[in-house]
C-alpha cells in the first residue's frame, strides 16, 4: 500500500493565518477569518485529497497569553488538545517576529511529540526580503523542525511544496473520509460561524469577544434552508450596537451571512436573526457549555 492518510494540526498564536491556510489547502471556505485575533473559537477539520492520499487538517484557535477568563482557557485548551493526538503539526509563525506567544506555542509543540513543520506565513508582507534568511536560520536553532517552509497563505505561494511535505510524512493507510467530504462539521455549525464572522468583521472594535451565535432553527424546505439564529451579547448597549439605527446594522450582517451560506451550501437561504442579552456569558462556565464551548471533537 502506498496511500497515506493522517491528521495534521495547524497551531500558532492568534492572527498568524491558520484559518486562511486551512481554507486555501482544502480549496473551500470552511473556517471564518477576520483581522481580529481569536476569531477562531473551535477546532475544525478540513479534508484535502491528494494523489498520494488524504491529509486531514485541524484548524485551531490561537494559543495566547492574554487573560485567564473561562473563554481564554477554553480557547487554549481547544488548541492544545488538538495538537496532542495528531500525526504531524504545522507550526505557523510570521517573520520577522518571534513573540512570547510563539514561544508558548513551541512549548505546546514540544510536549505534543509529533513531527513538526515550521511554516513561515505572510512572507509577501515582509517589508524587506533580506529579513527572511536570518529569520529562517534563527528559527532552525529553536527546535528540530522537519522542514521550514516560507509561504503566503493569502496568495497561495509555496502551498504545493507544503502539501508535498505534509503528505509524505503521514502514515500509510486507507483514507478516513469519503472523497467528496470536506469537513467533519455540520452545516448548522458552519451557518453559525458565518454569522459570527460578519459580526466580528463589522464590530471588530466594539464587541468582538462579547458575542456568540446560537442556531435555533435549521430546516430544509424544498430547495431552501430556513435558518433562525440568536446573537447573544452581554449588555443592552451591545444589543443596540448590533441592531443599529432602524435595524440597518443587523440587516447588513444578515445579508452578508446569507450570501456566504448560499455560496457554501449551494442553495437559497432564508435567514432570520434576533439579538438577545445574556449577562457575562463569556465568563460563565455553564453558559459557555450550553452555547457549545465545551470540548474539541475527537480526532
Q: What's the rounded mean pLDDT across residues 166-186?
A: 93
Q: What's the rounded mean pLDDT across residues 116-134?
A: 92
Q: What percent of the chain has pLDDT over 70?
A: 87
CA angle 263, 268, 273 (to 5 degrees): 95
CB-based contacts of 252, cutoff 8 Å, min separation 6? 198, 202, 244
Greater pLDDT, 207 or 158: 158
pLDDT tens, residue by residue, 254-275: 999 999 999 999 999 999 999 9
pTM of the model: 0.84
d(CA 130, CA 72): 36
What 3-state DSSP class applies to 172? strand
Average confidence score pLDDT of the chain: 87
Q: Is pLDDT of 233 > 80? A: yes
**The pLDDT value given to residue 298:** 38
pLDDT tens, residue by residue, 94-114: 999 999 999 999 999 998 889
Considering only 25-39, 115-129, 251-265, which range has the smallest mean pLDDT? 25-39
The topology (CATH level 3) of 187-290 is GMP Synthetase; Chain A, domain 3 (3.30.300)
Considering only 158-162, 179-183, 250-254, 284-288, which range has the smallest mean pLDDT? 284-288
Q: What percent of the chain has pLDDT over 90?
A: 61
> What number does CATH give the domain 4-167?
3.40.50.300
d(CA 293, CA 299): 17
Domain boundaries, the chain: 4-167, 187-290
**The pLDDT value given to residue 49:** 94
Contact 299, 85 (CB under 8 A): yes
Q: Is pLDDT of 251 > 90? A: yes
Contact 233, 211 (CB under 8 A): yes
CA angle 168, 174, 176 (to 5 degrees): 100
**The pLDDT value given to residue 296:** 46
**The pLDDT value given to residue 297:** 44
Q: What's the rounded mean pLDDT across residues 214-218?
A: 95
Contact 167, 2 (CB under 8 A): no
Amino acid at each position: 500500500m502506498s496511500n497515506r492518510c493522517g491528521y495534521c494540526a495547524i497551531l500558532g498564536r492568534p492572527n498568524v493565518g491558520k484559518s486562511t491556510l486551512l481554507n486555501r489547502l482544502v480549496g473551500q471556505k470552511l473556517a471564518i477569518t477576520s483581522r481580529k485575533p481569536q476569531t477562531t473559537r473551535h477546532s475544525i477539520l478540513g479534508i484535502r485529497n491528494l494523489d498520494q492520499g488524504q491529509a486531514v487538517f485541524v484548524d485551531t484557535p490561537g494559543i495566547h497569553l492574554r487573560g485567564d477568563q473561562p473563554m481564554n482557557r477554553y480557547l487554549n485548551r481547544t488548541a492544545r488538545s488538538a495538537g496532542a493526538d495528531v500525526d504531524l503539526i504545522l507550526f505557523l509563525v510570521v517573520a520577522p517576529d518571534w513573540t512570547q506567544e510563539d514561544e508558548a506555542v513551541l512549548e505546546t509543540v514540544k510536549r505534543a511529540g509529533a513531527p513538526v513543520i515550521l511554516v513561515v506565513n505572510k512572507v509577501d508582507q515582509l517589508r524587506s526580503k533580506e529579513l527572511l534568511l536570518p529569520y529562517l536560520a534563527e528559527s532552525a536553532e529553536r527546535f528540530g523542525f522537519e522542514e521550514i517552509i516560507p509561504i503566503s497563505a493569502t496568495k497561495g505561494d509555496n502551498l504545493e511544496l507544503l502539501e508535498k511535505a505534509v503528505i509524505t510524512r503521514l502514515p500509510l493507510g486507507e483514507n478516513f473520509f469519503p472523497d467528496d467530504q470536506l469537513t467533519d462539521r455540520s452545516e448548522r455549525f458552519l451557518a453559525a460561524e458565518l454569522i459570527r464572522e460578519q459580526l466580528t468583521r463589522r464590530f471588530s472594535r466594539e464587541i468582538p469577544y462579547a458575542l456568540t451565535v446560537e442556531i435555533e432553527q435549521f430546516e430544509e424546505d424544498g430547495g431552501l434552508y430556513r435558518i433562525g439564529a440568536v446573537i447573544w451579547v452581554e449588555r443592552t448597549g451591545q444589543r443596540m450596537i448590533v441592531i443599529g439605527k432602524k435595524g440597518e446594522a443587523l440587516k447588513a450582517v444578515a445579508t452578508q451571512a446569507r450570501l456566504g451560506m448560499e455560496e457554501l451550501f449551494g442553495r437559497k437561504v432564508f435567514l432570520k436573526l434576533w439579538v438577545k442579552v445574556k449577562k457575562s456569558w463569556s465568563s460563565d462556565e455553564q453558559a459557555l457549555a450550553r452555547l457549545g464551548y465545551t470540548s474539541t471533537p475527537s480526532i
